[in-house]
Copies of this chain bind each other. A is one copy, B any other.
Amino acid sequence: MSKGVLTVVSGFSGAGKGTVMKRLLEKYDDCALSISVTTRKPREGEVDGRDYFFRTKEEVEAMIEADELLEYAQYVENYYGTPRSYVEEMLSKGKNVILEIEIQGAMKIKEKIPDTVLIFVTPPTIQELKDRLVGRGTETQEVIESRLKRASEEAEGIESYDYLLVNDVVEDCVDELHEIILSERRRASRNEEFIRTIQKESREFFN
């Protein structure tokens, strides 16, 4: 059994990443979501080790110190991070681990695990993105403008990604995401053990 592929999905807010991820996990059981560690308190119904790993501030800071997080960030005084041990355990079991984070986190993970696959999700056109961002109709002008500004910053980072995934029809996008993950798994560089076995056997058999 070859190791799973670690995939990071980023992209414009409003590109429908959340829906795509949810459908991917429902549809393909070779894929699993990474579970984040957080210092925020569990909400009703949230289970430790399923929704998050709930830890104290001291515990998370100790993990940061010991380089046990692939990336982390702070929002509203709480830490959120990706535990390296959990990700690596899932990968070694052959699961394709997937996580959704922003570009800064994506770059940090790629630095620590260089064969991470970075995928940027975009709507077919910027006009469509703008319609999606503005068109929910429920947000204040201020919220919309902050979203648009963020989208503009996000656009500048696209070149750092490995793949560009256009989310036009959700189900197609989900299947395409899955195809990329499966194709990456067939990379020669991810199958060195199989290649060495083939080479060793072929030397023994044929010479």
Q: Which A173-207 residues have a C-beta within 8 angstroms of B? A: 176, 179-180, 182-184, 186-188, 191-192, 194-195, 198-199, 201-203, 205-207
For A162, the chain B residues whose CB sits under 8 A away are: 187-188
| A26 contacts chain B at the CB level, 8 A cutoff | no
Report the Cα distance A2→B199, complex, angstroms: 37
Among B155, B198, B201, which residue has its beta carbon within 8 angstroms of that of A198?
B155
| A161 contacts chain B at the CB level, 8 A cutoff | yes
Report the Cα distance A120→B194, complex, angstroms: 13
For A180, the chain B residues whose CB sits under 8 A away are: 183, 186
| A107 contacts chain B at the CB level, 8 A cutoff | no
- Can you tell how many copies of this chain the complex includes? 2
Among B176, B187, B191, B202, which residue has its beta carbon within 8 angstroms of that of A155?
B202
Contact flags A107-132 to B (C-beta < 8 A → 1, else 0): 00000000000001010011101100
For A194, the chain B residues whose CB sits under 8 A away are: 164
Task: Give the residue name and chain of the B residue nearest to A203 (CB).
Answer: B152
Contact: A188 with B205, CB < 8 Å?
Answer: no
User: Interface residues of A, CB < 8 Å — how many?
Assistant: 41
| A79 contacts chain B at the CB level, 8 A cutoff | no
Given known pairs A159-B188, A179-B182, the reply for A202 and B151 (CB within 8 Å) is: yes
| A158 contacts chain B at the CB level, 8 A cutoff | yes
For A152, the chain B residues whose CB sits under 8 A away are: 202-203, 205-207
Q: How far is the CB of A133 from chain B (nearest CB, A)?
A: 9
For A151, the chain B residues whose CB sits under 8 A away are: 202, 206
Given known pairs A156-B199, A186-B176, A198-B126, the reply for A205 and B163 (CB within 8 Å) is: no
Task: Give the residue name and chain of the B residue nearest to A178 (CB).
Answer: B179
